[in-house]
Amino acid sequence: MLTGLKNAFRIKELRGKITFTIAMLVLYRLGAHVPVPGIPVAGMAGLFGLNGDNTVAESAMALLNLFSGGALSYVSVFSLGIMPYITSSIILQMLQSVVPSLHELAREGEVGQTKITQYSRYLTLALAILNGIGYLFLFKSFGIQFNGAGAPEVIFDIMIVGTLVAGAMLIMWIGELITQRGIGNGMSLIIFANIMAGLPQAVFASVSDGGTANIILTLVIVIVILCVIPLIVFVERGQRRIPVQYAKRVVGRRIMGGQSTYLPIKVNTAGVIPIIFASALLYFPAQLAVFFPGIDWIQAFAGALSSGWINWVLNVVLIVFFAYFYTSMVFNPDDTAENLKRQGGFIPGVRPGRATANYIKNALNKITLPSAVFLAIIAIVPSIVFSFTGNSLIQAFGGTSILIMVGVVMDTISKVESQLKMYDYDGFFK
């Protein structure tokens, strides 16, 4: 691996891409520490723990702060984080299956994808404005007042929301620049940077919370994480290979086809999307509850969905549901069967056409269930352990974070390795 890394920096073009990616991530992390003008930093201290009286609101604040990589705790220009862009991308991807015009755009190749990307940017702007206004009310629900220098409070409100929206759009631009000119997916790398940024503080807080017992617990958590990572890699790399045979055909004077290959289907086709969807649905009431602190039934409802056994059960159900839902969106057995038929391919023992589509669909359903259960276990077990131990390391570096980090690292290494092979190197791990 070290030899592959050294070879990567020997290539001028690849070295430039890696350097550009690192520079953009450093710029993003610097922006996460630049506070929004007009923010009373001293008054915001202590709002991101779980020790206050408003448990539901503080839980929402802690969750939002985790998603922003700690930027929210500084009330920085990047407080909205990457979530508006991710949400808009997910919404448009879901709409492609129900809106015919978007589905046609997605099938037009690069031109259609450019249009969809433009729609995603507009939707990101709208979501950033809504989130910025929501954050403003969220801060005010804790009694924070944004005024000073004799100016009306509405001026500061507009300035704060405008700064947060500008920060969200700048993050989107940085992510797209990394994707176009750097190595790997820019949005995924930004999420990876957010998680890694909070890791040292989480480890320090976990060790300093108590005496020897907490140190031992922290060591146990680290050992468990190191043991889980190979299992996640195994599942992420897992495939169901369906054998495919291509019939021989004469093209001019040449005989084409006749070879045997396979159709690879990933065990975990949906990735971490089911966990993100389920978390967004279950924590949305908690985010709304901070706007209605005086309504008891809203507080009780949000508290029940945010923690406890109801949250765990609903999380499992929603993760399994969204695993099947998202897999059906990104992998269409009917289109795959039609493409095989058009290219002269067939699955041995299965008739082309509808029978092939049903065969692929059954195989997909069988491998989706164990992967969905695996995702649910990875996501739920840390929450259950945290509810009994209260260890901050589990909260900041739970199963979802590990899944995202492993996936991003594997994807980035694959892209570096493909670049190395273009220059006749053996690869990243040789």
Is 126 a residue whose pLDDT tops 50?
Answer: yes
Alpha carbons within 13 A on the beta-carbon side of 126: 10
pLDDT at residue 166, as a whole number:
92
Residue 258 has pLDDT above 70, yes or no: no
Average the pLDDT over 26-38 and give the result. 83
Cβ atoms 78, 191 nearer than 8 A? no
Residue closest to 18 by CA, chosen among 429, 412, 422, 425? 412
Q: How far apart are the first and last CA of the chain?
A: 6
Higher pLDDT among residues 199 and 182, named by residue: 182
Q: Is pLDDT above 60 for 430?
A: no
Comparing CA positions, the residue from 83, 78, 82 lying closest to residue 29 is: 78
66 vs 383: which has the higher pLDDT: 383
Give pLDDT, residue 267. Answer: 86
Higher pLDDT, 59 or 152: 152
pLDDT in tens, 315-353: 889 889 888 888 887 788 888 888 888 877 888 888 888
Share of the chain above pLDDT 70, in %: 77
Confidence of residue 251 (pLDDT cuts 50, 70, 90): low
- Domains of the chain in start order, with CATH, are 32-182 (no CATH), 210-390 (1.10.3370.10)
Phi first, then psi, for residue 345 (nearest 5°) are: -100, 155
On average, the pLDDT of the chain sits at: 77
**What was the pLDDT predicted at 252?**
62
Query: Can you read off the two tokens belonging to residue 14?
Result: 């690849």
Residue 312 pLDDT level (bands cut at 50, 70, 90): confident
CA–CA dist 379, 318 (Å, integer): 12
Q: SS in 3 state form for 175-190?
A: HHHHHHHCCCCHHHHH
* Whole-angstrom distance, CA of residue 115 vs CA of residue 98: 17
> Is the confidence at residue 268, as pLDDT, over 50?
yes
Q: How far is Cα 197 from Cα 69, in angstroms, rounded to an integer?
A: 6
Determine how β-strand 345-346 pairs with β-strand 239-246: antiparallel
Stretch 36-51: mean pLDDT, rounded?
60
* Residue 249 pLDDT class (50, 70, 90 cuts): low
- pLDDT of res. 51: 45
pLDDT at 52 exceeding the cut of 50: no
- Residue 428 pLDDT exceeds 60: no
- Report the pLDDT value the prediction gives residue 207, as an integer from 0 to 100: 72
Q: Which residue has the higher pLDDT, 308 or 123?
A: 123
Confidence category of residue 5, pLDDT binned at 50, 70, 90: low
Copy the structure tokens of residue 63.
């969750």
Mind spelling out the 3-state secondary structure of the chain? Answer: CHHHHHHHHHCHHHHHHHHHHHHHHHHHHHHCCCECCCCCHHHHCCCCCCCCCCHHHHHHHHHHHHHCCCCCCCCECCCCCCHHHHHHHHHHHHHCCCCHHHHHHHCCCHHHHHHHHHHHHHHHHHHHHHHHHHHHHHHHCCCCCCCECCECHHHHHHHHHHHHHHHHHHHHHHHHHHHHHCCCCHHHHHHHHHHHHHHHHHHHHHHHCCCHHHHHHHHHHHHHHHHHHHHHHHHHHCEEEEEEEECCEEECCEEECCCEEEEEEECCCCCCHHHHHHHHHHHHHHHHHCCCCCCHHHHHHHHHHHCCHHHHHHHHHHHHHHHHHHHHHHCCHHHHHHHHHHCCEECCCCCCCHHHHHHHHHHHHHHHHHHHHHHHHHHHHHHHHHHHHCCHHHHHCCHHHHHHHHHHHHHHHHHHHHHHHHCCCCCCCC
Could you tell me the two tokens for 412? 């980035």
**Does the pLDDT at position 199 exceed 50?**
yes
Reported as a single tens digit per residue, the pLDDT across 206-243 is 777 666 777 777 788 788 888 888 888 888 888 888 88
How does residue 103 score in pLDDT terms, banded at 50, 70 and 90?
confident
* Average pLDDT value for residue range 310-319: 86
Q: How far apart are CA 171 and CA 128, in angstroms?
A: 11
Residues 182, 188: Cα–Cα separation, whole Å = 13
Burial class of 55 by CB neighbour count within 10 A (0 to 12, 13 to 18, 19+): middle
